[in-house]
Chain A
Amino acid sequence: MGRLGGVILAVLSWGATALLAQEAHHHQSPASANAGSAQVVEDQAEQTADAAKKGAVAAPVFSPAPGSYPTGTTVAITTATAGATIYYTTNGTSPSRKTSPAYHGPIPRTAKITLKAFGYKKGMAASAVTSGVYTVSGPPPPPDTGGTLFLATLTPQGAATSNGSGSSTLTLSTNESAAYLRFSFSGLSGPITGEHIHGPDGAILFDIDTTPPQNGVWTWRIAPVGTYTAASIVAALRGGQCYLNLHTAAYPAGEIKGYFHQSNGSQTFTPPPAPPPLPGGPPTADDAARFLLQATYGPQPGEVEALQQKGFSRWLDEQMGLPRASHLATFDALAAEVPPDQKPNTSLVRESFVGQAVQGNDQLRQRVTFALSELFVVSDVDAGVRNGPDGLASYLDLLASRAFGNFRDLLEAVTLSPTMGQYLDMAGSSKSIPERGLNPNENYAREILQLFSIGLYELHPDGTLRLDTDNQPIPTYEQDVVKAFARAFTGWTFGGQNQRIPDRFFRPQRNYRIPMEPWDAYHATDQKVLLDNKVLPSGLSARQDLSQALDVIFDHPNVGPFFCRFMIQRLVTANPSPSYVYRCGQAFANNGAGVRGDLGAVVREILLDYEARSTTTLARPDDGHLREPVVRLLGLLRTFDATPRQGRWRFNFDRAGASAGEIPLRAPTVFNFFEPTFALPGEIAQAGLVSPEFQISTETTVVGAANLAQAVLGNGRNGPFAFVLTPFVPPQVGSDDALLDKVDLLLFAGGMSDQTRAILKTALADPDFPHATPEQKVATLFWLAGIAPESVVQK
């Protein structure tokens, strides 16, 4: 229960006495037993005050003096002027009587603070402001800082109905002869009766009780136990197979338990070694198909062979250079067909989205754009977005046109998009105007930090958590920073307004097709203290503040690993190794030509990295990720080179009984359809893995997605889309085996197991299998293969 803690030393001081006196004024409660003594104190204080000459209050004094101290120690503030009240801030801003707290006891510290305080007493001039910076000094460094860090999250063991939880860190020394253990816990049903580190078969490898801790750290001398050698213990630990558990009387088998996983976080960071080289030569057909399942909506017949000839790198170059079709132009063309008594709506934008995703040759851009739309989320669940369908089309164009551009440019374009301005309420956000009841809107400021760029906790360059000296994650910002960003983002509304009409700021004429524009009259020009105490000085214009605030975000070290991890999860694998994130983050930091934020370089690294291309990971139980429903469905359409029979890409993702739980550009909230950290309860969560797409994979949606696919495929000839099936039927495909080979390559990248193949082959051979036409047979087979676990999970 770490947050309840906080040691408050009972330091009595003049300052504390002064406040006691002041409180006696406020609480006129003669019945109170304390009132008498308070009155005495008050009288004494008054006498002292009488003795003092009228003048300024003595400047506050901090004790201990500013400097570096262990976490949890407190700072006392005193003033020599009796009866004075001390007002203070801890975030570096100037204290004031109106907005700052009054001091009434020592201030506990767990993080760096900039303390500023002044004394005030009625009838006297306020004191000068005393300020000082307190940083947190660490306890003695861990015994072996060069080792490997393992973290365990302790949760109820098995079916134990426990509220217990805890966390543990284990540092394996570089020579692997010892490990240093720390753990904390709360909520157990009773006192601990045993505490052990167990091996994969449940054998006790380290009985913690047998060794007293020093400064909260247990030293485990790794020695042979039973059938384990020291080397096999280390191997099990590194393989994520060792767990810590705590036993209680109620749960003799263990109440809480957690497996150790390597380096999700650490206090220090060491760059990982380079990966092994990949085999040279042209890619195999399976390799090429796997690449296309990652980089596109899925391969069409012939594309695998073409990629084998071209090679990955040249394919990437060509894809990034392909011309792009405008969603806005498509929207306008479709809107022109809308009868005059109806208004064009956002479903037209989705038609454009689906059409490009299925038929666009710029498949890499299509796939990356969809991924970006799940990071920089806008959604037509929101009425403000819905009311400007041309804005949603423009927003999609904005993402697509910058998919291989620069992150800083993308961030600014997203920020100034009127659609985003509507969705997260930056449009029309004004400086504080008390008489009109106006305050800066914090929504965009919060989400750009938490969701679009840096996240809640400080990261190392490999995306793992940076830990403080107590092995706790370090928050990237507090509410004050959100408020400061909110002020920095004030003064923007829809572009093209007549600024001589002041009310147009709040009631603009809504042009969704051009970026928002600044109104300095509504911009908060005071100083803003942003991330890591970076300061925007007062007096800057709306445009200057916005530009510099975005620079501050862009330069934050979290951005590279945060963004890269997200994109890897969307395209390649749910649980990238830290070294994979690191390498992509390095590409983000520098594209090789000294440019930070080059998204083309990042996409290239994500897809060409060892971890994306090596086949050595394929057999791992944690490899890959669930392909999200939209990608699976549009991928099937792409495989068959689908075109709509009625000329329009009307595609109902959410029909009754066939809801896949995902509609492009219609996430339920700004948190997207699913969050990067979601772990399916059960063995995936227990293994410490995340599985984002499982957040929308329920009994309802898994079956719903299958039904949607069935509705779209039909019998191959009568659905809403026309298919090109000649590559799958005689004479091009002459046998069931040849057809299964095609399915294996295009949907499984050659990863179909013998068992799955046998199941599908048996079905094909069954006289009952739908085979009225060759097309029906193909459609049914692809439907079955498309819901098979081995194709749904992309590895």
Chain B
Amino acid sequence: MTEIRSTRRSFLRHSACAAVGMTALANTIFDLRRIAAAATVGDYKTLVCVFLYGGNDANNLIVPSSGSDYAAYAATRGALALPQTSLLALHPLSTPPGDSRQWGLHPSLTGLQGLFNGGHAAIVANVGPLVAPVSRTEFLARTAAVPPQLFSHSDQTVHWQTSLPDQPAKTGWGGRTADLLRSLNQNARISMSISVAGTNTFEVGNVVTQYQVSPEGPVGLTSYVPADQGADASSNAVRNLLGKTYGNLFERGYRGIFQTALDSQELLSGALGGAPVIATAFPDSDLAAQLKMVAQLISVRETLGLHRQIFFCAAQGYDTHGGQIGTSSLDGTHADLLLELDGAFAAFNAAIGELGVADTVTTFTASDFGRTYLPNDDGSDHGWGGHHLVMGGAVRGGRFYGQMPTLAIAGPNDAGDGRWIPTTSVDEYSATLARWFGVADSDMSLVLPNLGRFASTDLGFMG
């Protein structure tokens, strides 16, 4: 147990301010029931969401690799098509029933190829926001409800993160999960939900707020000296300005954020200062830096009193309307992005293994949408369903879950131009993760109220 430098005073101030780890009296019995149902003392789990902003072209993440399937892919995708010989072979332990197609990964994903074939990562096929299952016929005839503002970045991103595409939602499914399970972190000193990639909807709860760090750790105020460490005049003034009450709501909002930052800075700096050194080498990329910070925060979970952690990381730039490929389909923006993704995932997997928590950390991807199967010159447009990756020791890896779409324009999965109508909803995907994380079946409707509209409440990819 590492000694923490921060003071009891700042801890009390922080707790009162953020209401993290504090339980409303009225909900105590409610929460005790959940603890019993969800977890045992000492049990520890972490969810890591990696959001690929812009809409990942999953059609080039996982590609049909053999015979006529590849030929059809190459013919339709044109310049975007990856060379057949470049595809990284997947050897799944099982394939979707009735689907004998063979698949390869984008050549940038050498690390994930090993993780999948080694059983540490799974592929969930054609996931996307849905109000309810919808067929191509229903979609074209507009006889079934679909999420509003399909193909719009901001809306689909929110739908992914809230899993509530048909109602205005301020909270994300990660935030609601944290609300439900917050009592597992009864003695926690910072929020269950930490973002390493700025503000997001995913981690917004009604009670648990997201705490943000940078890939370098907590952001400290330069030359600030805490009161109990020989404070100076300007540090006193900062404290007094933040300690004063304000009538204007924007002044209050700004004051609150600044205060939380100073409190948490003290706490987290102390904890990370005593963190074990992670020997695993991370590549030099933004996403890798984020995941390295996640690994470090996991390593000090006991110091921080956390039994559950939800992290949000993100990579930008997946909106590849143009420049998706470079001089060939083997280079360009998308190949570079996937290279970053692959390196970060492989290093993170090694790091959590090094920390001895591989079985308790599950990492999953999310993205605005997939992209059109039909190319436009050297890019692709906003699509709908896409394929996603789940990684970790608790994952039943080496398998495909859900159904891979029929890769044909005007085929049964096509909403137009190769926008795949999702065959697995974000709700089903999220529910499988939330159940593993500890949300009881009886509480699942509080996290994912639309889940009952879909075939599966558990896709089976978590052990």
Using a CB–CB cutoff of 8 Å, the interface residues on chain A facing chain B are 1-4, 6, 8, 90, 100-105, 107-108, 153, 155-156, 158-163, 165, 186-187, 189, 253, 381, 383-384, 422, 424-425, 428-430, 436-443, 446, 450, 456, 475, 479, 506, 574, 619-626, 656-659, 661, 668-671, 675, 680-685, 687, 689, 691, 694-700, 702-704, 706-707, 710-711, 755-756, 759-760, 762-763, 766, 768-770, 780, 783-784, 787-790, 792-793, 795
Contact = CB atoms under 8 A, between A and B. Distances in A.
Interface residues of B, number: 96
Nearest to A109: B142
Contact of A4 (B26, B132, B246, B374): B132
B302 interface: no
Q: Which 10 A-B pairs have the closest CB atoms?
A: A766-B233, A699-B261, A437-B78, A789-B251, A763-B237, A425-B321, A101-B141, A769-B233, A101-B140, A768-B233
Given A159-B206, A381-B316, A789-B251, A759 B240 contact: yes
B399 interface: no
A702 B333 CA distance: 32
Contacts of A108: 143
Residue among A620, A691, A698, A787 with the highest chain B CB neighbour number at 10 A: A698
Contacts of B333: 383
Contact of B199 (A695, A755, A763, A780): A695
B87 interface: no
A159 B27 contact: yes
B9 to A, nearest CB: 19
A739 B251 CA distance: 23
B247 A621 contact: yes
B168 interface: yes
A672 to B, nearest CB: 11
B234 interface: yes
B256 A682 contact: yes
A104 B137 contact: yes
A769 B377 contact: no
Contacts of B164: 163
Interface string B101-116: 0000000000000000
27 contacts: A165-B169, A186-B167, A384-B322, A422-B322, A425-B376, A437-B374, A438-B375, A441-B322, A441-B379, A441-B381, A442-B151, A623-B248, A624-B250, A625-B250, A659-B214, A670-B153, A697-B257, A698-B257, A699-B218, A699-B261, A699-B265, A703-B221, A706-B258, A707-B219, A759-B240, A789-B241, A793-B254
A699 B212 contact: yes
Interface string B252-296: 111111101110110000000000000000000000000000000
Contact of A3 (B166, B258, B377): B166
A429 B319 CA distance: 16
Given A158-B24, A669-B153, 16 more contacts: A1-B166, A163-B449, A430-B377, A437-B374, A438-B375, A438-B377, A441-B381, A625-B250, A657-B214, A657-B219, A657-B220, A699-B211, A699-B219, A700-B261, A703-B220, A762-B236
B322 A428 contact: yes
B363 interface: no
Contacts of B374: 437, 439
A621 B254 CA distance: 13
A683 B209 CA distance: 13
Contacts of B199: 695-696, 698
Given A161-B176, A696-B199, A703-B221, A793 B250 contact: yes
A90 B168 CA distance: 27
Nearest to A383: B323
Interface string B17-51: 00000001011000000000000000000000000
A626 B240 contact: no
Contacts of B321: 424-425, 441, 443
A702 B257 contact: yes
Interface of B: 24, 26-27, 53-54, 76-79, 131-132, 137, 140-143, 145, 148-154, 164, 166-170, 176, 179-180, 198-199, 204, 206-207, 209, 211-214, 216, 218-223, 232-234, 236-238, 240-241, 244, 246-258, 260-262, 264-265, 316-317, 319, 321-323, 333, 372, 374-377, 379, 381-382, 417, 445-446, 449
Given A425-B321, A769-B234, A789-B255, A161 B78 contact: no
A461 to B, nearest CB: 24
A621 B377 contact: no
A437 B375 contact: yes
B417 A439 contact: yes
Nearest to A711: B222
Contacts of B249: 621-622, 683-684, 687, 689, 691
A624 B244 CA distance: 19
Contacts of A763: 233-234, 236-237
A780 B235 CA distance: 11
A475 to B, nearest CB: 8
A476 to B, nearest CB: 11
Nearest to B78: A437
B238 A437 contact: no
A450 B376 contact: no
Given A659-B214, A699-B219, A694 B253 contact: yes
Nearest to A658: B222
Given A697-B257, A699-B257, A759-B240, A574 B169 contact: no
A676 to B, nearest CB: 11
A619 B377 contact: no
Given A161-B179, A438-B377, A698-B199, A784 B141 contact: no
B253 A661 contact: no
A83 to B, nearest CB: 19
B166 A446 contact: no
A707 B322 CA distance: 37
Given A381-B316, A684-B253, A4 B166 contact: yes
A501 to B, nearest CB: 16
Question: Which one of A100, A383, A430, A675 has the greatest number of beta carbons of chain B within 10 Å?
Answer: A383
A159 B207 contact: yes
B449 A691 contact: no
Contacts of B236: 762-763, 766
A229 to B, nearest CB: 27
A233 B151 CA distance: 45
Nearest to A659: B214
